[in-house]
Amino acid sequence: MSIQLIGVNYSRTSLALREKLAIPEARLPEALEELRQCHGLLEGMLLSTCNRVELLARTQNDNADLRGFLCRRAGIQRSELEPYLYEYHDEEAVRHIFRVASSLDSMVFGESQILGQVKRSYGAAKAAGTIRSEFDWLLPHAFAVAKRVRSKTAIGSSSISIASVAADLAAKIFGSMNQTTLLLVGAGKMSELAARHLLAHGATSVLVANRTFDSAQALASLFHGRAIPFEDLHDACHLADIVITATGAESAIFRREHGELFLKRRRNRPMFFIDIAVPRNVDPGLGELDGIFVYDIDALQQLASTNTQKRLGEAEHAEAIVNLEVERFYSRMEARRAAPTILLLQQYFENIRQSELQRIRGRLGELNMTQEAAVETLTRGMVNKLIHAPMVALREADDHGRDSMVHLLHRMFKLEEPTVSRLRPKSTVPRHQQPRKLSAL
């Protein structure tokens, strides 16, 4: 059994490749159902954001084809993915998911959005039935680690996010943002955060377009703005000086021909598009037009790097917290994995103790309370000493050693057969292809 994490992120993978690998939220249930069918998979979760696509899995014998799953979903060859892929196992995989949830691996060091994204991915996997057992311990532990990092360090001392970096970029481009109109395309949290930051920088009016008009109206009302029906987006877009796009669309909403129309209607007054969506909502060709400036998620990295430098002083403290929590997690999991067999072993010896006391009680005659307590203490002490060594050995063993010891103890003492949770019914896999049975967790 192994915990594995494979993925790509902003630091080593182009936006173009991340777009191919990205899994829109609407298609996440479908992707999780496909993941469920991977042979050898016990548990799995997918995390897809504008900066990363990661697959966290618990597998039998490292034999689940996780790379193949990502390539099939993206429609790419392994040779296209392999140079950019990172992979972690067991303790390093746990450390990585703790660091991601704590925003120590983010483009914007200390940003607050990633924790919510990890929580939503966990919720989707729970709903799809691809998480159970160990990951029901691992992910809540990751959330607790993230909370502790933010409360014990200053990496989250101010509200920093991709949206705020985008707003800083817009303010830097315009200088003064007085009398500027902002168009939000998409009514999600990122759009709301971007609007708040831009209004703080001096933007004066807000337009909102979203496929669900009610959502557009709700967001526009927060800023005393105006909602635009999504079908009227291209007709109204020229009214905006700054366009922030953050939708789950799988193809570009704005293309070069749209830009030519906008410039004509604006009499060549410049427009700025800040595209914080993956896949991109704005075709890069739009930025080739004179008077239109396009910035995508990777263009924000330089500003994000500046922010990271300011917060690196807190990194050492945060990393120490993560390392300590990795150790704590494994200590708890080791005890949990050994617990079912330890309980069965304790019950086995307790039954023998009770049986022997019952058998010999007639020969002991009538005992007073002090004598009864002495017999109870003596026999319990003997049982505890007999099972102490195997209990300690089980708790301290690694996965392979624990599996062997569990099966040996179950055979020696005829304990109940250990079982392991599976994502797929046994009948769906031919007998000759079924992996060997694992011990109880």
Omega of the bond leading into 279 within 30 degrees of 0 (cis)? yes
Among the residues of 112-210, which ranges form H helices?
113-128, 135-152, 162-174, 189-200
C-beta separation of 188 from 327 below 8 A: no
**Catalytic residue chosen out of the listed positions 38, 50, 71, 237:** 50
Distance, CA of 17 to CA of 53 (rounded, Å): 10
Which residues have a Cβ under 8 Å from the Cβ of 172 and sit 6 or more positions away?
none
Q: Are 171 and 303 in contact (CB under 8 A)?
A: no
Q: Are 322 and 98 a contacting pair, CB within 8 Å?
A: yes
Amino acid symbol at 50: C
* Token code pair at residue 396: 């301290």
- CA torsion sign for 62, 64, 70, 71 is positive
Name the amino acid, one letter, at 17.
Answer: L
CA distances 362 to 246, 317, 375, 380, Å, are 81, 65, 14, 19
End-to-end Cα separation, the chain, in angstroms: 10
Decide if 63 contacts 40 (C-beta within 8 A).
yes
Output the six-digit token pair for 231: 């079908």
CA–CA separation, 417 vs 296, rounded Å? 55
3-class secondary-structure state, position 106: coil
Please answer whether residues 322 and 149 qualify as being in contact, where contact means their C-beta atoms are separated by less than 8 angstroms. yes
Judge whether 50 counts as a catalytic residue.
yes
| Tokens read off for 143 | 């959330």
Cα 378 versus chain centre, distance: 51
Distances in Å between the alpha carbon of 258 and those of 141, 285, 289, 350? Answer: 47, 11, 11, 79
Tell me the catalytic residues: 50
